[in-house]
Amino acid sequence: MLLPVFLILVFGIVTFGSYLAVVHGVQQLAAEAARSSIAGLTDSERSNLAAGYVSANADAYPLIDKTNLTVNAATSAASNKVFVVTVNYDASHMFIYSLPTFVPMPSPSIVRSAAIPFGGY
């Protein structure tokens, strides 16, 4: 009698856990891309370094399909000494979005950013 309830709980944990693993992976990609971007001397070089990092390392996350990733990297509007890398991931193809509609769903668009200062003091 408890077996169906237990199986539904385990299935839900695994399904939502895979979504959270993707969210964590996107955040890690953004953070590491921001760190690698500070080696550039110009905004365009920093942007290319960030995009190159995400492209080269997205395969390290097995639940992330790198064709659904986009990277936006630019100097912060608040400070010209801070570089911000934003990674967008379209997760609408994940299994979680094929569940019945009575299950509350997170947004299929995962957007994570990382900011890093550059240029000394």
- By percentage, how much of the chain surpasses pLDDT 70? 98
DSSP character string of 15-27? HHHHHHHHHHHHH
Q: What is the pLDDT of residues 82-92, one digit of tens each?
A: 999 999 999 98
Q: 15: closest CA among 110, 113, 87, 100?
A: 100
Residue 86, phi then psi, degrees to nearest 5: -120, 125
Considering the entire predicted model, what is its pTM? Answer: 0.87
Structural domain for 74, as ranges: 3-117
β-strand partners of 88: 70, 111
β-strand partners of 114: 85
Q: What is the pLDDT of residues 36-84, one digit of tens each?
A: 998 888 899 999 999 999 999 999 999 999 999 999 999 998 888 899 9
Q: 66: closest CA among 47, 87, 95, 37?
A: 87
Q: How many domains does the chain have?
A: 1
Q: 16: closest CA among 119, 104, 118, 115?
A: 104
